[in-house]
Structure 1
Amino acid sequence: MVQSGRVAAMVGDEVVYAETGAMIFKPRGQWHAVWNPDDAPARILEIITPGGMEDLFELMPKLLAEAGSAAESVAARVEADFGIEFDLVATAEIAQTHGVGFGIESH
């Protein structure tokens, strides 16, 4: 749920936008990416079931710092620990197309 601002998401092959108060459904097992399409801050409340993914959100900043921005290192650790597959090529394409960053670079 978007608590403030506006959020964009690619769910499968579709790009959707959500304003404050709206929700975006991202089915488990379907490739997705979420980003802030604007310069203004955005806040979201993300609900993931079943639980267990909260550790990923706490771990990501540490992994990014430890990896020295190497996308492959971060992706490999997340895939091993959480069973999540990162599509680094698609992520880079989204970042370039929409003018956003993820905090990691592919080398």
Structure 2
Amino acid sequence: MISSQDTSVEKYDIDLGKLGAKLEIARTENKANVAIVEHTLPPHTLAAPLHRHSREDEISYVLEGKMTVLAGDEIWTVPANEATLKGRNTWHTFWNANDEPLRFLEIIAPSEFSEFFEEISHVYPVDPADEEALAHFEEICERYGFKADLESIPKLCEEHDLQM
């Protein structure tokens, strides 16, 4: 139950290029400051450039398919019905290297970052040649304490036979 002091967060169901994002539990729906976003990702697809969060941890629970995670120098695979932690201040990304779609829950704590997906949906995927969109993307990232290495995308796609 939401107290009268909480501000409402509008739920979303959006596509960020190929990454689907649906806000299932908003931060305003609980006092634990946790949000849950359901993500979908098609086969052989990179979800995001290398990135890091300075304010939150992400726990991914795979519902269907398998998620491949790169964090720091380590790569591992998370099968359905298992979870993994992508901790703050660690450069990471993830992808679906398989022939089946990937569906997973992202538990975000603290939860404010869950609103990032809706905000960037208006400019993402970012065309680096579009200076205005790139500046807007960078401004949003800065407000959330998020850093993204957009230049990592071609290398990751080539090395792991992925699209984005």
How would you bin the TM-score normalised by the shorter chain?
Answer: 0.7 to 0.9
2:127 aligns with: 70
- In the TM superposition, residue 35 of structure 1 has moved relative to its aligned partner by 1.1
| Counterpart residue number, 1:50 | 110
| Structure with the largest fraction of strand | 2
The runs of at least 4 aligned residues of structure 1 exceeding 4 Å deviation read none
Look at both structures and tell me which one has the larger radius of gyration over its CA atoms: 2
Aligned to 1:28: 88
How many residues end up aligned between the 2 structures? 99
Offset, 1:92: 2.9
User: Which stretches in structure 2 are left out of the alignment for 5+ residues?
Assistant: 1-60
Q: CA RMSD in A?
A: 2.0
Q: Percent identical across equivalent pairs?
A: 26
Distance 1:60 1:15 in 2: 27
Where do 5+ consecutive residues of structure 1 fail to align?
103-107
Q: C-alpha separation between the residues in 1 aligned to 2:82 and 2:108?
A: 16
In the alignment, which residue of structure 2 is the partner of 1:39? 99
Query: Residue 62 of structure 1: SS of its match in structure 2?
Result: coil
- Using CA pairs under 8 Å that are at least 6 residues apart, name the structure with larger relative contact order, 1 or 2: 2
Query: Counterpart in 2 of 1:90?
Result: 152
**Higher helix fraction (1 or 2):** 1
Q: CA deviation at 1:55?
A: 0.9
